[in-house]
Amino acid sequence: MGPQQLTGWRKSSHSHFEENACVEIGSAPGVVGVRDTKQARLAARPVLVYSSDAFAAFLVHVTGGR
């Protein structure tokens, strides 16, 4: 699965444009993609793609299980 199949991109509620800390999350069946919103929209933006299970485990870790 390539990043071009990811849909529903949304900006993190913790992103702060003023601080150059903007992250977007997209998804497709079984995977989650993460990209930097600061990258030029016309250029190909690198996307990190994780399995849904790995991303869920990451969220549990960073939120302390909330």
pLDDT in tens, 1-60: 556 688 888 887 776 666 666 888 999 999 999 988 776 666 677 889 999 999 999 999
C-alpha pair distances (Å), 2 with each of 19, 20, 32: 29, 26, 11
pTM: 0.74
Helix (H) or strand (E) holding 32: strand 31-36
Please give the pLDDT value at position 43. 67
Please give the pLDDT value at position 23. 85
Asked if 24 and 13 count as a contact pair (C-beta separation under 8 A), the reply is: no
Please give the pLDDT value at position 65. 73
User: Beta-carbon neighbour count of residue 18 at 10 Å?
Assistant: 6
Specify the number of domains making up the chain.
1
The CA distance from 33 to 10, in Å, is 11
Does any domain span residue 66? Answer: no
Does any domain span residue 12? Answer: yes
Please give the pLDDT value at position 38. 72
Domain range for 38 is: 3-60
Please give the pLDDT value at position 39. 67
